[in-house]
Amino acid sequence: MNDMPHHDRYDDCSCGKCDYCHHKGNRKFRCCFEESGGFDRTPAIWTREQAEQIRITPQNAAPVIDFDALEPTAPDLWVWDTWPLREQDGSIAVLPGGWRVIFSLTAPRSVLPGKRHDIATIRYFYARDGQDWIPGGRVFPQEDPFGSRQWAGSAFVKDGEIFFFYTATGRRGETSVTYEQRLAFARGDVFSDLEGVLFDNWEEHVIIAEPDGEFYQTQEQSGGGIIYSFRDPWYYLDPESGCEFVLFEGNTAITPAVRECEPQNIGDGDFRSGNDVPNGAAQFNGNVGIMLLRNSDYTEWELLPAILEAECVNQQLERPHIVYSGGRYHLFIISHQFTFAPGLDGPDGLYGFVANNLFGNYVPLGEGGLVIANPPEQPFQAYSWLVLPDLSAESFVNYFNLEGLSLNEVGNQPDQYIFNHFGGVLAPTLQLTVDNLDTTIVNELAQGLVMESETQSAPFPPTCEKRRHYGDLEDEDRDDHAHTRGKRSRDDHRINRGGRRKRHRHD
């Protein structure tokens, strides 16, 4: 692709599990690149045939929330998309002083709920019991982050430092709201004791990825009534390989004028012969993107082909994240009813897929992928579910008691009606079970509860033949180690498609 090296440039990597044989720098990158399948790998597909199986059942319908019993998460703020501070392996972090931490998109309650995305700020909360959250304030000083506002991301803690990924939306200082989306990174220090939690001493923020127009659609390539997607970076350390990735929400890179629904996006031959695809379905092209870490300071990444695509099925596969359980990879996304392509009907909900390896053939969980659905009597009561290592799922309270109104119709109501029917607080946590492809909501837990939980280890520790020691490395291999000390070859620059180092302060 362009002047990128071919995949076979990396066929000297003899190790199948990269963290255990090539521990550092370019050698590890090459091994992980090979493990990923390289640039020629084909994404798994969520087909229209599979999505037509979506059904709300007693197993996936969430209980109706007791709205009168809800407590405000922050008295003066709307709170929505939320994620926990994790250890690097994905386990829920517990900081000195016994604190668990969550991060949320927030906006003042004086703002109409529909306008909150245009001024979103990431704030944090901490609690010893994972439930009674204490507001900690803004994560970043106001002038530091990229974008006119910041959307969802992820964060982990290691050796007293926080590694923070977020969506930089728009441009700092813009005079009107724009929807450009880039992936950004910042690194800072964690201060935690019996008195509370503070994040400080942030290094300069870095843009780590922008859509490339080849694997992922740019804003210029996009079209239609739903904004394009390049957001929601979710850091993921693969327990089987030791390779480090970021998942994100994207769109397949193709312009509206040339889009069409391919047979593989529709279903098998029998399904295709009896089902016509409605006009306009080809404009829906959501995917789950992934990129691979290139360096040790988390500022350089390689965009790889998507791991799941939903062309002709859905426009937005939001907030993708993986829970490794039972030796299998459970990929979860959230999606709205209005982002499904014409001819398909799926509720606002949590959707899931499972594969035997990170880059495997993901197949839908539950009914066509539906894991959690809002109950039919409250179809928009919650949104933005995030599944944690113990298979509990946290979310926020969205719109409720709408008496049959659609979300589009809500926007036409008087301001006070909208304020009265929007939650903007953390929702009751739901407990899931997963048995092969079957999923069940088994319990409703406390509002906003994040429990201590650990990511499962790989069932069999990865092993491989380490054929050479550092003292016996050939010249090329010594050069690879030299690259990890800051010196990089021309070929290394050629492959740096997705995460170019950008240490400028101007947005």
Instruction: Give the pLDDT confidence of 238-256 residue by residue, as tens digits.
Output: 999 999 999 999 999 987 7
Q: Which one-letter DSSP state was computed for residue 413?
A: S
Q: Encode pLDDT of 277-289 as tens digits.
A: 998 999 999 999 9
d(CA 370, CA 345): 11
pLDDT at 274: 83
Using 50, 70 and 90 to split pLDDT, how confident is the model at 38? very high
pLDDT at 459: 75
Helix (H) or strand (E) run with residue 420 in it: helix 415-420
Give Cβ neighbours of residue 211 (< 8 Å, ≥ 6 apart): 181, 217, 218, 219, 228, 230, 250, 253
Q: Encode pLDDT of 463-481 as tens digits.
A: 443 333 323 333 333 333 3
Mean pLDDT of 347-362: 97
Is the pLDDT score of 207 beyond 50? Answer: yes
Is the pLDDT score of 293 beyond 60? Answer: yes
pLDDT at 36: 94
Helix (H) or strand (E) run with residue 198 in it: strand 196-200
Of 318, 348, 367, 480, the active-site residue reads 318
297 given a catalytic annotation: no
Nearest to 26, CA basis, from 462, 503, 496: 496
Give Cβ neighbours of residue 336 (< 8 Å, ≥ 6 apart): 316, 348, 383, 407
Query: pTM score, two decimals?
Result: 0.89
* Mean pLDDT taken over the chain: 88
Is the four-CA dihedral 295, 297, 303, 308 of positive or negative sign?
Answer: positive
d(CA 88, CA 84): 12
262 given a catalytic annotation: no
Query: Based on the number of CB atoms within 10 Å of its own CB, is 148 exposed (0-12), middle (13-18) or buried (19 or more)?
Result: buried
Q: Encode pLDDT of 355-404 as tens digits.
A: 999 999 999 999 999 999 999 999 999 999 999 999 999 999 999 999 99
Task: Evaluate whether 78 touches 396 at the Cβ level (below 8 Å).
Answer: no
Of 34, 81, 240, 390, the active-site residue reads 81
Let me know the angle formed at the C-alpha of 159 by 153 and 496, rounded to the nearest 5 degrees: 50
Using 50, 70 and 90 to split pLDDT, how confident is the model at 9? very low
